[in-house]
Amino acid sequence: MLAFRARTTLGGFHLDIAFESASGVTALFGRSGVGKTTVVNIIAGLMRPDDGKVALDDTVLLDTKRGIDVPAHRRRVGYVFQEGRLFPHLTVRGNLTYGMRRTAAADRWASFDRVVELLGIEGLLDRRPALLSGGEKQRVAIGRALLASPRLLLMDEPLASLDARRKAEILPYLERLRDDMALPLVYVSHAVGEVARLADTLVVINDGRVVAAGPVGPTLARLDLGEAIHQEDAGTVITARITAHDPATRTTRLAHPSGDLFHSLMEAEVGMTVRLRVRARDVALSVGDPGLISIRNRLSCTVAQIAERGDGAVDVRLAAGGEALVARITRDAAAALDLRRGMPVVALFKATAFDRDDEDS
């Protein structure tokens, strides 16, 4: 459990943030300049706030009132920056073992072979950083941080400097890190696609303050957050289990509590549970059976909330098998359907509407 509270002033910027996160990935989400990096720098011990407290489980790392400020090198907090920041004179192997050698044997939990396999960098060990791609450098940087056997891993916009291809390359490794290692992780990002795909808990920050916090799916689906989340149609996250692949039609079938789903052919094993992001603008609504149409994804839902927007549209939050889904339709359409809270509807979206990559455009 990470407990964080800090107040500080940097020039004309005021930060006043408090949150708690348990296991899994906690994403600090918001636009550039809202205070996300300041938070992780305080956790890491690279900055001291005017007033604050940081505790990891039963260990207090910072308490300004009690005069406690554990030095950064003794906090056992790993940090992965936007750029790999690898040592250019060392090979990949040398970079990986750098932190490992500086961790007391009694504190080491990370296995060199396991980390190398997890990140898929077996073939890179004898190379120097200059010969690595951007995605490879970031994987090595993550490995170096892991091999220091941290109690908490911080990642500050680790994909921000990568192009779309490199992001798509590294995201599966971050998913493996989340799923295979019982290590709490704080992930900073302003890219909703990354957050939706990786995070368990979402902390939304705006102008130096927390405006929302909670499980990633319901938090992304909140309609009261305005531009803090929905300025670019963040969409919502649903989870489904893969039941079959059909190479002939290039489709994957998935089971969801509100109905079966179809996705373009996925590279994942049958039986796996995956997260899928659906943008609100791609969700249509039907009252009653929509009949024979080309849209195959149909989830039986209930209208939970209706919120008018300033652009002539209406956001409709739907309850779908224990999850939340948002549809963005016109006011005319909402009036024609006579939408009301508690009303049963069918949510419709194409198999191509899912976002399983890092794109946010």
Q: Which domains does the chain have, with CATH numbers?
A: 2-220 (3.40.50.300), 236-355 (2.40.50.100)
Residue pair 202/216 in contact (Cβ under 8 Å)? The answer is yes
Q: Please report the pLDDT score of residue 31 as a whole number.
A: 85
In sequence order, what are the residues at sequence separation of 6 or more whose Cβ sits closer than 8 angstroms to the Cβ of residue 284? 295, 327, 329, 347, 348, 349
Q: Please report the pLDDT score of residue 85 as a whole number.
A: 87
The DSSP element (H or E) to which 349 belongs, if any, is: strand 344-349
Residue tagged 């909670």 (tokens): 214
Residue pair 314/306 in contact (Cβ under 8 Å)? The answer is yes
- Tell me the pLDDT tens digit for each residue of 130-140: 999 888 999 99
Q: Please report the pLDDT score of residue 227 as a whole number.
A: 61
- Amino acid in position 278: V
Q: Which two tokens stand for residue 260?
A: 């079966």
pTM of the predicted protein model: 0.84
Q: Please report the pLDDT score of residue 2 as a whole number.
A: 92
Q: Please report the pLDDT score of residue 110 as a whole number.
A: 86
Count of CB atoms within 10 A of residue 250's CB?
10
What spatial distance separates the first Cα and last Cα of the chain, rounded to whole Å? 34
Q: Please report the pLDDT score of residue 234 as a whole number.
A: 63
- Amino acid in position 326: V
Q: Give the strand pairing for 344-349 and 284-286.
A: antiparallel
Residue ranges in the chain modelled with pLDDT below 50: 357-361
Question: Dihedrals φ, ψ of 141, to 5°?
Answer: -60, -40
Q: Please report the pLDDT score of residue 30 as a whole number.
A: 87
Residue tagged 């599966």 (tokens): 172
Residue pair 137/166 in contact (Cβ under 8 Å)? The answer is no
